[in-house]
Amino acid sequence: MMLRMICFALFFALLPLNAVDSLPRISDTPKSEDQPVLTHDPACPVLKASEPGSETKPMEIPVVQTEKKEVLPEVAAPASAKVESDPVTPKVGLESVVIPEETPHFVGARYYEKKSGGWGWIKKPEESWKQARWVAVQESPRKFHVPHRQLKNAEQDHEFQYKLLGSFADYQIYDPVRDELLDVFVIAGYESLGAQKSIERKPGPPGRFTSKKSGAYTRRNSVQFEEDGF
Amino acid sequence: MRRFILVLACFFLSLEAREWIILSGGPAIRFYEAGKERSHDKHWGNFIDSAVVRIKELRPQLAEGDQITWLVYRPGYQSRGEEINGDLLTNILKRANQEGVALFWFDTQDQLINYLNNGKDRSTNKIHHFDYFGHSNKACLLFDYSNVMDSMSKNYLHTMNFKKIKKDIFTPDAVCQSWGCHSGEYYSGKWKTHFGVPMIGAIGKTDYSRLHSLPFLSSDKGQWAQ
């Protein structure tokens, strides 16, 4: 009997502690400085990435901001259907311009490849095409676009060459249709050099020919992602 | 004494909380998708609305001590919001507050993986439920698609990234589901192999266009698999 009483006493003594400490809820308020809450809007904590070597140590995760706040005007879905009107197609911010030779630039050879997010090869003017990188081109909506946005179809400038302004990004991008990673060139302007003779290279990033595939896409057994199949 | 230890053990076991994670990827921007034959994400909130529907469904199933956590890919809603001049982040925050769930933004794959590994003490607070709403192909959950670059993804969780996630973060009876397209064709199998728990995924495509409803299979021979 005594034993049971002790158990019940322990149970009721510990229960509130658990309920408060291990179950942060939306209505909780931050209790100390070691539970940081971001002060900018919207007030919800951003998760942290692991620091190198700290994978096994639990990271401190801030509790969610709790106070109710005035909410700015809501962008609601139309009541009738989940469709928004598309923004008016923006005008191209920078059409083909003349890029003087003395201006630092790259040279690009467009290669249209069906079912691929690759744009073509890009190299420095003094490099050979063997040194060129197969890239996807990152645009800046309403500012800088790939040349073929001005054309009817994306393949219309196949094997055109361009002088290009811009830079290589420090990250790669994933092509979900081909299940491969591509280098990224961030475009900031171009000058068309017109149609040129073919580049004697197979299209695609080096990994297409050398890396072990994930197994989700192989050219050999023709298991392919459905185009636009997301 | 033995009975006392047994009672205490039962008591502490009963204290173990479980986490229910809802993960929302981000929408495309219309600049890249407008005019395409198969244009994605005409409505910005496909992966938010369906997540909220799911949260409402799950709440009655929570046991004492369980918590729903909603992880949302922030950059997707920032850029879509800028495009349509709307504050989508505040809108999402409001939805989370209405549902009373903990909302966390993530901007990168590393942040997400860190949360899955260490967001809670996974020795005592494992993930019991996992739902993903967003774009996907058979090998990858795509947190952004046609958002940074046309038809491409900058942040994603590929099956090849599983090795960065601890294998024991789920309860043995965890329920996992990807509501994106094609996950059941490849991703689910790799998920089961790595984590030891099944993931329900679609063979074929899913469609988010029904209001106040979960996504549904939209391919002719579509089915759920695990």
- ipTM for this prediction: 0.91
Burial of B16 (0-12, 13-18, 19+ CB in 10 A): middle
Cis (ω within 30 of 0) for the bond into A176?
Answer: no
* CB neighbour class for A17 (10 Å; exposed up to 12, middle 13-18, buried from 19): exposed
pLDDT of residue B212: 86
Taking contacts as CB-CB distances below 8 angstroms, the residues of chain A near B117 are 50, 55
pLDDT, tens digit, 9 for 90 and up, residues B94-130: 999 999 999 999 999 999 999 999 999 999 999 999 9
Of A210 and B43, which is predicted with more confidence? B43
Reading the block at residue A69, the tokens are 């706040």
* DSSP string for residues in A40-51: SSS--PBPPPPP
Residuewise pLDDT in 10s, chain A (230 residues)? 444 555 444 444 443 333 323 322 222 323 233 332 322 345 567 776 665 544 434 444 443 443 333 333 333 333 333 445 544 443 343 456 788 888 999 999 999 998 889 999 999 999 999 999 999 999 999 889 999 988 888 889 999 999 999 999 999 999 999 999 999 999 999 999 999 999 988 999 987 876 555 655 544 333 333 444 44
Query: Within a 10 A sphere around the Cβ of B15, how many other Cβ atoms?
Result: 15
Q: How far is B49 from chain A (nearest CA, A)?
A: 10
Predicted confidence at residue A76, as pLDDT, reads 35
At residue B37, the pLDDT reads 82
Helix (H, G, I), strand (E, B) or coil at B8: helix
CB contact under 8 A, A26 and B43: no
Give the confidence band of B140 by pLDDT, cuts at 50, 70, 90.
very high
> In which region does residue B201 sit, left (phi positive, over 0), alpha (psi from -120 to 50) or beta (all else)?
beta
In this predicted model, what pLDDT tens digit does every residue of B179-201 receive, in sequence order?
A: 999 999 999 999 999 999 999 99
CA dihedral A187, A189, A192, A193 (to 10 degrees): -80
Pick among A83, A88, A181, A230 to test the B interface (most B CBs inside 10 A): A230
pLDDT at B16: 75
A50/B114 CB distance under 8 A: yes
Residue partners of A172: CB distance under 8 A and separation at least 6: A181, A182, A183, A184
Q: Which of B223, B183, B216, B220 is nearest to B46 (CA)?
A: B216
What's the mean pLDDT in B17-46?
93
In terms of Cα–Cα distance, which of A205, A209, A147 is closest to A181?
A205
| Residues in chain B within 8 Å Cβ distance of A89 | 34-35
Residues contacting residue A16 through CB under 8 Å, at least 6 positions apart: none
Place of tokens 């046609």: B146
Q: How far apart are CA B139 and CA B180, in angstroms?
A: 11
How close is the nearest chain A Cα to the Cα of B174, in Å? 20
* Percent of chain B's residues with pLDDT above 70: 93
Q: How many CB pairs under 8 A join A and B?
A: 234
Residues of chain A contacting residue B165, judged by C-beta atoms under 8 Å apart: none
Contact residues, chain A, for B97 at CB < 8 Å:
26, 68
Give the chain B residue whose CA is nearest to the CA of A57.
B118
Q: State the best of B73, B89, B90 to mutate against chain A, taking most chain A CBs within 10 Å.
A: B90
A55 contacts on B by Cβ (under 8 Å):
117-118
Q: Which residue of B has its CA nearest to A183?
A: B154
The yes-or-no verdict on residue B82 having pLDDT over 90 is: yes
Q: Which residues on B lie below 8 Å from A74 (Cβ)?
A: 90-91, 94
Q: How far apart are CA A151 and CA A174, in angstroms?
A: 25
CB-based contacts of A79: which residues, under 8 Å, 6+ apart?
A: none
At A229 the pLDDT is: 42
Please answer yes or no on whether A174 and B142 come within 8 Å at the CB atom. Answer: yes
Q: Is A94 exposed, middle or buried (0-12, 13-18, 19+ CB in 10 A)?
A: middle
* Closest CA in chain B for residue A81: B211
**Contact (CB, 8 A) for A125 and A99:** no
Contact A117 B113 (CB under 8 A): no
Instruction: Tell me the domains of chain B and their CATH numbers.
Output: 17-225 (3.40.50)
pLDDT at B136 over 70: yes
